[in-house]
């Protein structure tokens, strides 16, 4: 019995070693894609030549560009709880080179993505004044080359026919009618490369933020039917190897059937956790707002004394039962650059999220010392 198990283990190990060697050899030997469109999809993506000057150069989309109609193997996806970006809508896609795939690392870690992975994220508003139509502002690409992630941002023109490569930030005034029929207006910030890096950063390296099992383990409505995103990724070959059947996933922060605390922790993870993490921009403050860490109330800041003095009234990061004493609530409610959190990516208050946090704070007892 024992001998048999050992044998199996040995064979498994050997197979694994061979497989690794094979993969390594394959990767080394993979010819660099030439300019000829990928035979399967028509996407054009030459790692030696990107970023291309125009968004259309990639052929990520078919038909009129503004329809964002994905080419084959350009797969739409959506995180369970998204980052708030001044109420902009987003449509997101992922694409990988032929015969390459990502591997599972852990529920809360980024997948181990292969070189040539591209995330395509379009920012737009609907019911824009005066046309009442959709207006796409920018398309952000995040792609992996030689093991490192790169940014490329494309700014859409007025007639929505093209988007051009730009590394400098800019401002776009936007006016739209929201879902309640109310007029809204703000100045949308298209970030410069250094701003992108401020959030997409871990230990000095550029990183994606959302594509982790905990954020993607949900159903998505594909053209051919509803399916769990992780299952879909496996089906199309974007995800190979072992993926656990059960993922410790975040909640949809708007889902009021979920526990209040889970919703708050989920919101904080995607909106704050990238900075408030060991390798993040705000690593020198003791709170840690990643979902897998906030089960510990201290990591969430509950009854923790803030390191940065603002006013004597703000005594704790989160003061149980007391919104007026909670720094986190104050900072999320502020648009003053020196106080607001997150520091970047919003110019208005995400009032619905602030309300949720307020509800959560009021639910906590006993009061902090």
Partner 1 sequence: MQKRILLSIMTLFSAMHLYAQQSCATAIPAVLGTTTASTSFGTTPPAPAHCMVLNGSESFLWYTFTPAVDTNVRVSTVTSTNTGLDTRISVFSGTCGALSCIAYGDDESAFLSIATFAATAGTTYYIVFDTYWGNMPIDFTISYVSTGGGGGPIPQLITFTTQGIPNGDNSRCVMDMNGDHIDDIVYTSGNTLRVHYQTAPATFTSTTHTISGTVTNAPSWSIAGGDMDNNGYNDLIYGGGSGASIIMANSTGTAYTHYSGGQYIFSQRTNVVDINNDGIADAFVCHDIDANVFYISNGSGGFTWNQGGLGANGGNYGSVWIDYDNDCDMDLYIAKCGSDPIDQLHRNNGDGTYTSVGVAAGLNDATENWSSTWADFDNDGDMDVFMGASSNWGGLSHKLYRNNGNGTFTNITAGSGFDLYYSNLGIENYPGDFNNDGWVDVYGLGGLIMFNDGDMTFTASTSPVAGAAVGDLNQDGALDLVAGTTIYKNNLTSNNYIVVSTVGVQSNKNGIGARVTVQTASGSQIRDVRSGQAFSSMQTLNAHFGIGQETAIEKITICWPSGVVDVINNPAINSHLVVVEGSTVSVQEELSQNLQVFPNPATSHLSISGLPANRVFALEIFDVTGKLISTQQVSENVTVDVQSLVPGIYVARISGEASQLNVKFIKE
Site of interaction with partner 1 (CB under 8 A): 168-169, 189, 192, 194-195, 197-198, 201, 204, 280-286, 305, 307-309, 336-338, 343
Q: Which of 271, 281, 258, 255 is nearest to 331 (CA)?
A: 271
Smallest gap from Cβ 200 to partner 1, in A, equals: 12
Q: Are 121 and 90 in contact (CB under 8 A)?
A: yes
Smallest gap from Cβ 192 to partner 1, in A, equals: 6
Tokens describing residue 105: 């690392």
For partner 1, the closer CB: 168 or 351: 168
φ and ψ of 150, to 5 deg: -130, 150
For partner 1, the closer CB: 185 or 187: 187
211: CB partners within 8 A, 6+ apart: 77, 94, 110, 111, 113, 119
Smallest gap from Cβ 78 to partner 1, in A, equals: 29
Smallest gap from Cβ 193 to partner 1, in A, equals: 9
For partner 1, the closer CB: 217 or 290: 290
For partner 1, the closer CB: 128 or 344: 344
The Cα–Cα gap between 49 and 34 comes to 10
* Exposure of 317 in the CB half-sphere (CA atoms within 13 A): 18
Smallest gap from Cβ 208 to partner 1, in A, equals: 18
- Beta strands 102-103 and 239-240 are parallel
Smallest gap from Cβ 88 to partner 1, in A, equals: 17
Start-to-end C-alpha separation, the chain: 60
For partner 1, the closer CB: 238 or 330: 330
For partner 1, the closer CB: 191 or 213: 191
- Verify cis geometry, omega within 30 degrees of 0, for the bond prior to 28: no
Smallest gap from Cβ 302 to partner 1, in A, equals: 16
For partner 1, the closer CB: 208 or 342: 342
User: CB under 8 Å, gap of 24 or more: what pairs does 140-143 form?
Assistant: 140/196, 141/51, 142/118, 142/200, 142/206, 142/208, 143/45, 143/47, 143/50, 143/116, 143/117, 143/118, 143/119
For partner 1, the closer CB: 57 or 195: 195
Smallest gap from Cβ 365 to partner 1, in A, equals: 21
Q: Token match 């792609």: residue?
A: 143
For partner 1, the closer CB: 135 or 276: 276
Q: What letter does residue 84 receive in the DSSP assignment?
A: P
Smallest gap from Cβ 196 to partner 1, in A, equals: 10
Strand partners, 75: 94
> In this structure, what is the dihedral angle of CA atoms 118, 88, 362, 337, given to the nearest 10 degrees?
90
The Cα–Cα gap between 268 and 272 comes to 5
């Amino acid at each position: 019995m024992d001998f048999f198990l050992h044998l199996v283990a040995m064979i498994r190990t050997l197979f694994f070693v061979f497989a690794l060697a094979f993969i390594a050899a394959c990767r080394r030997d993979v010819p660099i894609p030439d300019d000829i469109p990928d035979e399967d999809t028509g996407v054009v993506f030459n790692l030696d030549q990107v970023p291309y000057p125009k968004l259309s150069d990639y052929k990520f989309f078919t038909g009129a560009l503004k329809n964002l109609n994905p080419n084959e193997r350009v797969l739409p996806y959506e995180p369970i709880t998204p980052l708030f970006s001044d109420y902009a809508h987003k449509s997101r896609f992922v694409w990988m080179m032929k015969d390459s795939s990502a591997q599972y690392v852990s529920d809360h870690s980024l997948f181990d993505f292969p070189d040539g992975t591209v995330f395509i994220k379009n920012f737009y508003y609907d019911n824009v004044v005066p046309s009442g139509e959709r207006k796409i502002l920018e398309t952000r690409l995040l792609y992996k080359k030689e093991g490192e992630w790169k940014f490329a941002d494309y700014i859409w023109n007025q007639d929505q026919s093209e988007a051009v490569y730009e590394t400098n930030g800019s401002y776009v005034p936007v006016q739209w009618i929201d879902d309640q029929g109310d007029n809204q207006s703000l100045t949308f910030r298209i970030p410069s490369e250094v701003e992108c890096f401020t959030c997409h950063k871990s230990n000095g390296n550029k990183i994606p933020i959302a594509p982790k099992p905990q954020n993607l383990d949900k159903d998505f409505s594909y053209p051919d039917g509803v399916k769990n995103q992780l299952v879909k990724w496996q089906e199309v070959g974007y995800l190979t190897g072992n993926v656990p059947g059960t993922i410790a996933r975040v909640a949809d922060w708007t889902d009021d059937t979920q526990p209040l605390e889970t919703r708050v922790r989920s919101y904080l993870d995607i909106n704050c956790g990238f900075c408030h993490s060991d390798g993040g921009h705000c690593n020198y403050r003791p709170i840690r707002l990643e979902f897998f860490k906030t089960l510990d109330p201290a990591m969430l800041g509950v009854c923790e004394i803030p390191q940065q003095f603002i006013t004597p009234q703000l005594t704790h990061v989160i003061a149980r039962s007391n919104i007026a004493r909670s720094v986190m609530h104050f900072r999320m409610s502020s648009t003053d650059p020196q106080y607001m959190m997150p520091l970047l990516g919003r110019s208005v208050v995400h009032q619905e999220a602030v309300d949720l946090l307020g509800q959560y704070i009021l639910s906590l007892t006993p009061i902090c010392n």
